Every structure is written in C-alpha cells, then in structure tokens.
Structure 1
Amino acid sequence: MGRLLDHGFYRTTITGRQHIPATGPVVFAANHLSYLDGPVMVGASSRYMHVMVRHDMFKGFLGWVLRSSGQIPVDRSGDRAALQAAKGVLQRGGCVGILPEGTRGSGDAASMNSGVAWLALNSAALVVPVAVLGTRITGEHRDKIPPLRRRFHVAFGEAVKIERQAGMSGRASMDAAVEQIRTTLAQHIRQAVKISGQQLPDDQTPPRTEESARMRAEQSEDD
C-alpha cells in the first residue's frame, strides 16, 4: 500500500536507500508533516518496517489494515507496552518506523520525544534519519490529505549508532541520545530540503527553538 501511495497516487522521489542496512535491526526516525508520512516512508524503504501509529487510528477498516500489516498502536501520553512491542521487533532483527516529533507540525525536528532514544539505547538497532517532504505544504491544514499526483521526496540518511555515555546517569544518557538523534535528523532534513528544492510548510508561527529559527533562515537564503 505504501508503494501504491508513493508511485500510483503520488509521485515520489527517493534518495539514500544505500544507507539502509541490508540486515539487522533498524529504527527509522522521520519528521512528521501529515497523516501520510508513515505509509509514504514504508513504501519508499527497501526494508519492511513496523510503524508506531497513534492508537486511535486503529478503528474500522483502517484499523484492520494497520493491525494486519503489523503496525504498532501507541498512546502518545505514555505507552510502555508499545515500546516493548517495538523492542521485540528489533530484537528479532526487524525494523521499526517512528515519527519522534510526536505530532504533525512543521517537520523541522525542533523537538522530539524520548521513545526513539529509548529504543536505540535498549536494542542493538541503528538509527536511520528520514526526511519526508511534500506531504503537507504552506497553507494546508494539518489534517488535509494532499491532492493526488503531488510530488513527494523521501531521503534516507546515513545510519548512526546511539550508545550510552560513560559516566552519565541513565536520565542524562537518555537526554543526550534524544539530542543526538534530534540534531542528526534536523541536519538531514535541512540537507534534503536543499537537494530536493521542496520546502517545509511555513505555518506563520514563531520559531519554537533556535534550531527552527536557523532552519527557516537557511531556507530563506536558499530562496
């Protein structure tokens, strides 16, 4: 279904597939613009992944599709069971997809939840940053499904190994891992924007962090 979305309903350019490890556990960490980011990422990948999806999406026919395809329901208010399920996939050598910004937004990775860092630190998985562009553009509501045949761009970055820092407490190690992944993903998104020419949506809201402000400034310079 992801490939049908990417190449049947939409026009998706894919770069960086060579960075995806051929074997072993992988956490794919992508930015989050719209409802389509997860399936578009799945369709673009050379390996199948189990994506962590908001639990209230598991209803009706869509819920049946999600469960049948092995996607993982997660309650964003805190869901240890979902993390354990994802860890189980990784321990079996599989792949997990996660949108660590947690909610649909500007997609610049200015903020991030700790779930992706927990998975990376508690498994042998490598983390592959993924930039998804075009699934929402400036002026579109965050709930809008993009019109058919729009051009998307999915870029896979180089895999990184996240490890606990010697001499750090568990909490400090977790915070350091979150920031390492966030910085890696933010830098990868900026590079994907430059290469593809597809911009992140400008929602006309004040920058949330210095990272967000810097990304907007760099995009303006490129324009």
Structure 2
Amino acid sequence: MSLYKFAKTVVAILLFPLYRIKVIGKENVPKEGPVIICSNHISNIDPPVVGITSPRDIYFMAKGELFEKPVLGKLLTKIHAFPVRRGMGDRNALRNGLKILRNNETLGLFPEGTRSKTGKVGKGLAGAGFFALRSKAEIVPCAIIGPYKPGKRLTVIYGKPMDIETYRQNKASAKDTSDAIMNEIRKIIDNHYS
C-alpha cells in the first residue's frame, strides 16, 4: 500500500466519525481522464476532507515554505502535494499542475487561494481558470458545507462537471473562467440550503 493510500485510510477513519461527514455527488467525478476538483475554502482541514471524500487520488498545491523542511518536504511529496510560492506567479507550480493533468490525474484546487474568514464563498483567483483553459481537464465544482465542529454534520457535495469548452473556444480570461467556477460552487451551496 502506498503512503498516500495509507494516509487517506487513516485520515478517513479519524475525520468521518468526528465530523459526521456526508458525501453527495461522488458519482459526478469522472472515473478517468484529467480532472480538476475546485472547492470553496473554509478550513485548514479542507484538503484532507476533499482528499478522503473524492473517489480519485488528488494532487494538491501546498505553500512552498513547508517543503523547505527536508523530512516534511519528502512526506508531502509522497502524499501528492507539490509546492507553490504564494503571492507571485509561480511558473514551476503551474508547470507541475499541467503535468499532473497531462498524466490524466486529478488536481485539487481552492480557487479563493486562502480560507474564507466568514465562511461565505469569496472571489476566485485566476489560477483555477488558467488550469481549466490550458488543459483538457473536466472541472468538477465542490462545496464543503460546515461547520467544522466535532459531532456536527459536515457535508461535501460534488457537482456535475462544468462545460468549460465554450470558455476555451471564446478565449475567455483565466479570471472570468475562475469566476464561473466560483459561481457553480455558490449554486451548489444555495441549492443545499433551499
């Protein structure tokens, strides 16, 4: 068993009962081919929660400083994380992300770039739109609906893949494409509460 699978199993055993995690729409994640899962960001625990609820193994970006510690850096690489320098256009991170998608793998992104302080869905940065436009990946919007409180229900909803082809053909900007992805995430949350 790979370290990724082992870590996923251990984290699932811990988090599923702790937050009474309910997963909806797992069947919306394509079984093969390149996929980008784009989620809202409400907690530091979001990456492992998306990781354990997704039917596919996911690669996530993690802040570059974490990889400067040799042991932690190696461990993060083995559990499918790769570094990104935040606050600047990190070409290396962009290349790594595109390579993952060219290999028909799954990339997990939090388009807001940082956690929402209010829990409301914020504006998306251009990164998610860049990967959506520059790859042939299917884009799956994902909503994490809290709160992260032990014993309270945490719901993770995977929406249907978005039609990004129109954006690609119309040469839409990365920012506009990210905005469209964030709108889909908002719709999932609104539908959940309606």
TM-score range, shorter chain: 0.7 to 0.9
Question: Using a 3 Å threshold, how does the CA distance of structure 1 residues 125 and 167 change in structure 2: closer, same or farther?
Answer: closer
Match of 2:53 among 44, 48, 54: 44
- Conserved? CA contact 1:110–1:186, under 8 Å: no
Are 1:12 and 1:154, in contact at CA under 8 Å, matched by a contact in 2? yes
Cα offset, 1:53, TM superposition: 1.9
The reply on whether 1:186 has 2:191 as its aligned counterpart is no
Q: Counterparts of 1:54 and 1:7 in 2: how far apart (Å)? A: 26
* 1:166-218 deviation per Cα after TM superposition (whole angstroms, max 9, x unaligned): 565xxx532321221121122122223x1xxxxxxxxxxxxxxxxxxxxxxxx
What are structure 2's unaligned runs of at least 5 residues? 1-7
> If the length of structure 2 is used for normalisation, what is the TM-score?
0.82
The SS at the match of 2:187 is helix
Greater C-alpha Rg: 1
Query: Which residue in 2 is equivalent to 1:26?
Result: 35
C-alpha deviations, 1:136-189, integer Å up to 9, x for none? 4xxxxxxxxx5x444311110111132335565xxx532321221121122122
The number of residues matched between the two structures is 181
| Higher relative helix content | 2
C-alpha contact (below 8 Å) 1:6/1:44 kept by paired residues: no
Q: 1:43, 1:77 → 2: CA distance?
A: 28
How far residue 62 of structure 1 moved from its aligned partner, in angstroms, is 4.9
Unpaired runs of at least 5, structure 1: 137-145, 195-221
**Corresponding position of 1:173:** 173
Asked if residue 133 in structure 1 is aligned to residue 145 in structure 2, the reply is yes
The verdict on how the C-alpha distance between 1:68 and 1:165 changes in structure 2, with shifts beyond 3 A counting, is closer
Give the Cα separation in 1 of the matches to 2:133 and 2:161: 14
Q: Distance in 2 between matches of 1:134 and 1:55?
A: 28
Q: Aligned to 1:89, which of 96, 100, 115? A: 100
Identity of aligned residues (%): 30
User: Which position in structure 2 is the counterpart of 1:124?
Assistant: 136
Distance 1:22 1:166, change over 3 A: closer
Residue 159 of structure 1 is aligned with which of 154, 157, 161?
161
Instruction: Tell me which stretches of 4 or more aligned residues in structure 1 moved more than 6 Å.
Output: none
Alpha-carbon displacement from aligned partner over 1:15-35 (angstroms, at most 9, x marks no partner)? 011111111111000011111
CA distance in 2: counterparts of 1:60 and 1:150, whole angstroms:
37
Aligned residues: CA RMSD: 2.2
1:77 and 2:79 are equivalent in the alignment: no
